[in-house]
Amino acid sequence: MLVLRRWIQIIASVLSNAYWLFPFTRGMYQGNLKAVCVPGLNCYSCPAATGACPLGALQNFMAGVRPSLRAGHQHLGLYVVGMLGLIGSLVGRMPCAWVCPFGFLQELIHKIPSRKFEIPTPLTYMKYVFLGLFIFILPLLVVDGFGYGTTWFCKFVCPAGTLEAGIPMILLKPELRDLIGLLFYNKLTILAVFFAWMVLSRRPFCRVVCPLGAIYSLFNKYSVFRMTHDPDKCTHCQTCYFDCPMGVKFYEDPNHYDCIRCLKCLQESCRFGAISYEFAGVPTPKPVKKGARSISHTG
């Protein structure tokens, strides 16, 4: 299952960034595919990006609500909210584990050997603050003289945008180097901090900051796909917790807001058959146990 997930992560990352002509055109992809939002965090200003970032699109709708209404268009972002809500109500936070390129990157960087640290639980609620403040409230309320807001999360926070768009665009277009200022250095610092944190902790951006993960997480308890826990079989050995890429204690809450449904606990961690999942109320077949490992504390 881990191998399958890795392949799906690779394929999703490549498909989200499949415009490989950018070194020759020195520009970004501008085709019609960009009308569709990708399910993971992937900056649409990345020169190779083939789809739109749902967070960028949502902020743009919030930032442009007033001028849009004045012009007689009711562009409120229903298209993006509907798409994210549909995915969330189907599978909850599963896209974070299977198709998000930035989540994949964090898992790879966390493999760098070092002493590992757990993220304090209160910090994991910060992503809801980022979601409310940077995606909705600030773009909606802080506007210029013409009524336009700005994309606060992209502009001031998003390390994925710096990595996928800011740095490549500066390399592709030398004329942009004159425009680099404090804002860019600030974003580079945020990226560097997160790179270091990714080595030390499991998926820190997903758990502490990501507003997209925060949206999907709201559906974990109400989605068609759900994880299930058998307390009679569970021995609380905590192997699932130590193996979990998000540091979730499955035995405390099988549909925890940070569970990304990677199924690692089901396929590799639990030796006692205490973990399963259901889809539309239909229980899954018994998992293959040959890959289950003995108790390890590797993180």
Partner 1 sequence: MAVKKRKIPFLLMILFVTLLVLGINLGEVSSVLEKATKLCLSCIGIG
Residues that bind partner 1 (CB under 8 A): 27-32, 34-37, 43-45, 49, 51-53, 56-57, 60-61, 64, 68, 73-86, 88-90, 150-151, 154-155, 161-162, 165-166, 169-170, 176, 179-181, 183-184, 186-188, 219, 222-224, 278, 280-283
How far is CA 274 from its chain centroid?
Answer: 27
Between 114 and 284, name the residue whose CB sits nearer to partner 1. Answer: 284
Q: CB 40 → partner 1: shortest distance, Å?
A: 15
Q: CB 173 → partner 1: shortest distance, Å?
A: 9
Q: CB 247 → partner 1: shortest distance, Å?
A: 26
| Number of residues that make up the chain | 299
Q: CB 289 → partner 1: shortest distance, Å?
A: 20
Q: CB 220 → partner 1: shortest distance, Å?
A: 11
DSSP 160-182: HHIIIIIHHHHHH-GGGGGG--H
DSSP 39-65: SS---TTSTT--SB-HHHHHHHHHHTH
By DSSP bridging, strand 275-279 and strand 282-283 are antiparallel
How many CB atoms lie under 10 A from the CB of residue 74?
8
Radius of gyration of the chain (CA): 20
